[in-house]
Amino acid sequence: MKVRLIVTVIMLFLLLPISVFAKETSPVDRLDQLSDEALQMVKLHRYEDAKKLLEYFSEQFVSVTGKERPFTPDELRIVTVSHDEAVQAAANATMNHEEKINRVTKFRLVMDAITSPYQPLWTEMESPIMTMFGEVKEAAYIGDTQQFNSNLNSFLSLYDIIHPSIKINVDRERIQRIDARIEFIDKYRPQVLTETASHMELEALEADLQLLFDEMTEDEADPSLWWVIISTGSIIILTLSYVGWRKYKGDQEKEKSLSRRQKD
């Protein structure tokens, strides 16, 4: 009976991390939520509502900066630029719907990159970006100028959406290397189409992009969760060990009792 009680108490304790580590939404997380709400409004063609949310974001961002979470100079610059583009998109009556979504998505991904350094949302763009770049390579290898230019323009548009977010989560040297390859391919399109040697730049860029996504999508746990994992594992081991020891002692007592009866 006592063993059952102890096991029950320990199992209840195992549930404590859920409540202990649960916390109220921080001001920075609320800013992230506002960026998501603005994007949802744009998707629904509710541009005025999106504009109001983005303006409210600006007010809250000023109060949060330097208090709840000190932003780095690069983060401040990237957030400010992407936010301004999002506001302009929501307020521009002549801009098409797709471009509005792209610009507000760019801002949304920036905020997520700041608040979610582990597997940020921009990594979800891996499939469309890598697929489109594959089509860029295919057009280049067969020498289809029109298709190459069209596919490359599409790739550049997709990369532009995640570029600010990448700069938040990835070291500067790597981004500069990738950007340099993209700039070369874009600037020297005729050479990339006609010169076999230039195809190496396509292969190198594809490898760099794939490595970038692979490293960011590895199964990384938030370091704060390791304490929970280790503690939970230790408790489970101790629980099983204790139950096993009690069972062993119980079996020994039964054997001793049986032996005494047989002697009597």
- Check pLDDT > 70 for residue 195: yes
Our count of domains for the chain comes to: 2
What is residue 244's predicted lDDT score, i.e. its pLDDT? 61
Whether 125 and 208 map to the same domain: the answer is: yes
Give the domain-ending residue among 88, 115, 142.
Answer: 115
Q: Is residue 145 a part of any domain in this protein?
A: yes
Give the domain-ending residue among 184, 201, 218.
Answer: 218
Q: Is residue 237 a part of any domain in this protein?
A: no
Whether 106 and 125 map to the same domain: the answer is: no
Q: What is the pLDDT of residues 217-253, one digit of tens each?
A: 874 544 544 444 444 455 555 555 555 656 656 666 6
Whether 83 and 163 map to the same domain: the answer is: no
For range 12-32, the mean pLDDT = 62
Of residues 262 and 48, more confidence is placed in 48
Q: Is residue 164 a part of any domain in this protein?
A: yes
Whether 124 and 198 map to the same domain: the answer is: yes
Q: Is residue 260 a part of any domain in this protein?
A: no
- Check pLDDT > 70 for residue 89: yes
CA distance linking residue 93 with residue 100, whole number of Å:
10
Looking up residue 107, the CATH number of its domain turns out to be 1.20.120
Residue 69 pairs in a beta bridge with 65
Q: What is the pLDDT of residues 134-172, one digit of tens each?
A: 999 999 999 999 999 999 999 999 999 999 999 999 999
Whether 44 and 60 map to the same domain: the answer is: yes
Whether 39 and 98 map to the same domain: the answer is: yes
User: What is the secondary structure of 203-246 as a DSSP string?
Assistant: HHHHHHHHHHHHHHTS----GGGHHHHHHHHHHHHHHHHHHHHH
Q: Is residue 71 a part of any domain in this protein?
A: yes
Whether 122 and 211 map to the same domain: the answer is: yes
Whether 98 and 180 map to the same domain: the answer is: no
Whether 52 and 124 map to the same domain: the answer is: no
Q: Is residue 224 a part of any domain in this protein?
A: no
Whether 195 and 128 map to the same domain: the answer is: yes
Q: Is residue 128 a part of any domain in this protein?
A: yes
pTM to 2 decimal places = 0.74
Residue 229: other Cβ atoms inside 10 A: 11
Q: Is residue 195 a part of any domain in this protein?
A: yes
Contact indicator for 78, 107 with CB cutoff of 8 Å: no
Percent of the chain at pLDDT above 70? 72
What is the domain range of residue 199? 118-218
Q: What is the pLDDT of residues 92-150, one digit of tens each?
A: 999 999 999 999 999 999 999 999 888 899 999 999 999 999 999 999 999 999 999 99
